[in-house]
Homo-oligomer: A and B are copies of this chain.
Amino acid sequence: MAKLQKSIQKKAALLKATLHLINNGGIQEASMAKIAKLAAVSPATIYLYFENKQDLINQLYLSVKEMYAKVAFENYESNNPVKKCFEQIWLNMARFKQDMPEESSFLSQCDNTPMIDEETREQGLVYLHPLFSLWERGQAEGIIKEISPYLLYAYTIYPTAFLMNMHARELFKVDNEVLHLAFQLAWDSIKV
């Protein structure tokens, strides 16, 4: 049992090291040797937990995406009114991006880079399913515009990635006031 625990810890350390390296310097700076070193492990050990580098990155992507979804749907009461529900999810997602800047910067790197297989990407999308359902409900109730979820996503969720990116680079401070302003912009753009 202690053994299993240790294994889990080691795998987590490897994922964390990879996240950190990719985040500060991109994929080019994240060599297996450096990952191993940062995780205080032999390069060979990586191959006990991951098939190869691509597998390591795919698994990292999925694990971060899962974390993201977990935060996104915290305290989500699906029988609340649509706007209330959406606000909850939106603020949760923003909070994730605020509290876990490395994870969220990694995700936006993945989204704009041929780093992740299309297949793994699709798997990651599944985590967001409750949001899509909510939008459908909003559209059925005539509260949300009858447009593609891609448009809804583009104008409500995607912009926060940009804002947090600017925040991380210290070009624009995103505090709670800005956040609530941003939600207003997001909601205004998709409400009927």
A residues at B contact (CB < 8 Å)? 23-29, 105, 108-109, 111-115, 118, 147-148, 150-151, 153-155, 158-163, 165-166, 169, 171-172, 178, 181-182, 185-186, 188-190
Contact = CB atoms under 8 A, between A and B. Distances in A.
A89 to B, nearest CB: 18
A26 B155 contact: no
A169 B186 CA distance: 25
A153 B148 contact: no
B151 A178 contact: yes
Contacts of A163: 150-151, 154
A69 B161 CA distance: 23
Given A150-B172, A155-B189, A26 B178 contact: no
A23 B112 CA distance: 10
Contacts of A105: 112
24 contacts: A25-B114, A26-B113, A26-B115, A27-B27, A28-B28, A29-B114, A105-B112, A108-B112, A109-B113, A113-B113, A147-B181, A148-B172, A150-B172, A151-B163, A151-B181, A151-B182, A153-B162, A154-B159, A154-B182, A155-B155, A155-B159, A159-B159, A185-B189, A186-B189
